[in-house]
Amino acid sequence: MTWIVLVDGYNVLKNWPQFTRQLDGQFNLARNRLIRMIGDFADYQGHRVIVVFDAPRRNMHRATSRKQEGVEVVYTKKQQTADDYIVQWVKEYQGEEHVEIVTSDQALRHAVQKLGASVRTTFEFSDTYARTGGIAASVQPREAVPDSEPQLRDGLDPKVRRQLDQLKRNL
């Protein structure tokens, strides 16, 4: 069964030990490495994943979104936190797929659970990621790719993508 996973991006970065050293001087590299790892996870699991990053100091009047590494990456609008964006997204979601939030933020956890979403802590998500073989755990950090090229899978209909991913897993 596939579902939609919304990831509180900076919350994961701050709670996963493998990013501790990079957060000091190589913040963009850490963020792009996380996106790459989550993209590999999403591809492996067949889930739609949205990674949300706070960008409250940007002078944007609306959140921006783009595909990177096979996942949707969202940067919030001016004076909006990732938590606010995620809660609003869950409130407005009308689809049939299950929604799961990845965060260790207790206030966000309670808010989205009231709306019917499930929550996985960053530690639980790290454990799940490791059980999938840590798909990108062995990937050596490389230069940040701020706007990586869209991948073929980004343009596919989600239903077709899930069918192809299932076929790939069955090989």
Give me the domains of the chain, ranges plus CATH numbers. Answer: 3-170 (3.40.50)
pLDDT at 94 over 60: yes
CB of 27 within 8 A of CB of 19? no
Task: State the pLDDT confidence band at 168, using cuts at 50, 70 and 90.
Answer: low
Taking each helix axis from N to C terminus, what angle separates 82-92 and 106-114, rounded to the nearest 10 degrees? 10
DSSP of 92-117? H--SSSEEEEE---HHHHHHHHHTT-
Instruction: Give CA 67 to chain center in angstroms.
Output: 11
Q: What are phi and psi of 86, to 5 degrees?
A: -65, -45
- As given in the structure block, the two tokens for residue 67 are 């595909």
Percent of the chain topping pLDDT 70: 74
**The residue to which tokens 């990456």 are assigned:** 73
Annotate 50-63 with b (16+ C-beta within 10 A) or e (fewer): bbbbbbeeeeeeeb
Task: State the pLDDT confidence band at 132, using cuts at 50, 70 and 90.
Answer: low
Which among 31, 34, 80, 73 has a CA at the least distance from the CA of 58? Answer: 80
Measured CA to CA, the distance from residue 63 to residue 61 in angstroms comes to 7
Percent of the chain topping pLDDT 90: 40
The model's pLDDT over 21-59, given as tens digits with 9 standing for 90+, comes to 777 778 788 888 899 999 988 888 888 999 999 986 677
CB of 49 within 8 A of CB of 5? yes
The model's pLDDT over 64-78, given as tens digits with 9 standing for 90+, comes to 899 998 899 999 998
